[in-house]
Each structure stands twice: as structure tokens, then as C-alpha cells.
Amino acid sequence: MTPTDRLRRLSTVMRHLCTLAMIAIPALLATFWLVFGGCWPFQGAGADPGMVGCTAHVDGGLARHLALFWPLPAWKQLGAFGISMLPAAAVLFGLWQLRRLFTLYGDGRIFTAANTRAFRRFASAVFVYALLRPLSQTALIAFLTFDGPPGSGRLAIQLGSPELTTFFLGGLFLLIAWVMDRGREIAEDQAQFV
């Protein structure tokens, strides 16, 4: 098998994985909020301290506090799903761009303008996700607690190493996109030599 064949085969696998993730992410979020009301059944719904685990993905420090608001009414479930979908939309866009990139690799197109465009858009999606993730967490906590008893409303902003790592990765991907663009220029220049 030649390196090109290997690249094509791996690209096809990666393309299918991207498609799968694009279906699984919204499906899992919808299941979590709309079917299980913000708590996976195996985490002991409704019972404290079980609820701590339920909302742990929202924010570790506020999980116990949020447990007081469980079970969530349908409109809150829907709202929480909508807010959770904001950073997920950036992830989906990024996955869509990666899928396009792997499709191009699968077609044997490696250094073209379309490749660079797809990778640059993916890098932008990573940046947008890094920005939307803490914002959506803040919005989610505020949305889940705003109509509770006086003094129970919370506003929390969480910025930690995951956000910084995502920003760093976004910058790294953007740099790789520029390198790919330089590679495309060289490849196009080479194509004009016979």
C-alpha cells in the first residue's frame, strides 16, 4: 500500500467518524436535557448526593446548588438544551469542516485552496468554541437558577486550563492552516513546471 493509499483509507475512516460525531453530539445533548432532564439515570437522579454527578458537567462547584432545582420543568429543559447547543454548534461546524477536509484527502486533493479553507475554518471554529464554552456555562447556570427562591440565583464565570488549552489549540491549528496555505502555493508553483 502506497502512502497515498494509506492517506485515502485513513481519511475515509476519519470522515465517517466526523459524520458519526456530528450526529452523536446533538443527539446526546438532546437526550441528556430533553429525555433525562439534565441527569443521566445511572447518576442517581433526584437524590442528593447523586445529583452532584448529574450537573457536574455544568460546573463542579455549583453542582450541589443546581441539584436544588431538579427536576427541571420542560421549558427549562428545552432552554438548557438550546444554550448547550451554542458551543456544540461551533463543534459541529468544526467537524463539518474537518469532514470536508477528509473528503478532499480521500479524493487525493492534498494541497488545494479548498483544503486550506476547510482547515482555517476548523481553526476558527475551535476559537469560537473556546469563547462560547465559558459563556454558555455562565448563561446555563444563570438560566437554571434565575427563578429560584431569593438568593439562589447564581452567575458564574469559569475560566480554566481547558479553555486556555482550547485557545492554544485554536492558535496552533490556525498556524498549521497558514503553513498548509504556503504548501499550496509551492505545490501550485511546482505544477507550472514541466
Partner 1 sequence: MPIVVTLDVMLARRKMRSKELAARIGISEQNLSLLKSGKVKGVRFATIEKICQVLDCQPGDILAYRRGDGGS
d(C-alpha 180, C-alpha 183), whole Å: 5
Residue 108 contacts partner 1 per CB under 8 A: no
CB of 114 to partner 1, least distance (A): 22
- Report the residue number, 161 or 190, with the smaller CB distance to partner 1: 190
Residue 193 contacts partner 1 per CB under 8 A: yes
CB of 191 to partner 1, least distance (A): 9
Residue 192 contacts partner 1 per CB under 8 A: yes
- Report the residue number, 1 or 194, with the smaller CB distance to partner 1: 194
Coil, helix or strand at residue 48? coil
Alpha-helical regions (H) of 31-146: 50-54, 63-67, 74-106, 113-145
Lookup: cell for 63: 453542582
- Report the residue number, 151 or 189, with the smaller CB distance to partner 1: 189
Instruction: Kindly state the number of chain residues that form the binding site for partner 1, as judged by CB under 8 A.
Output: 4
Residue 1 contacts partner 1 per CB under 8 A: no
CB of 194 to partner 1, least distance (A): 5
DSSP state of 112: S
Coil, helix or strand at residue 189? helix
Residue 2 contacts partner 1 per CB under 8 A: no
CB of 189 to partner 1, least distance (A): 7
Binders of partner 1 in range 171-190 (CB under 8 A): 189
Q: Is 38 in contact with 70 (CB distance < 8 Å)? A: yes
**What interhelical angle do 161-191 and 113-145 show, nearest 10?**
160
d(C-alpha 157, C-alpha 167), whole Å: 17
Residues that bind partner 1 (CB under 8 A): 189, 192-194
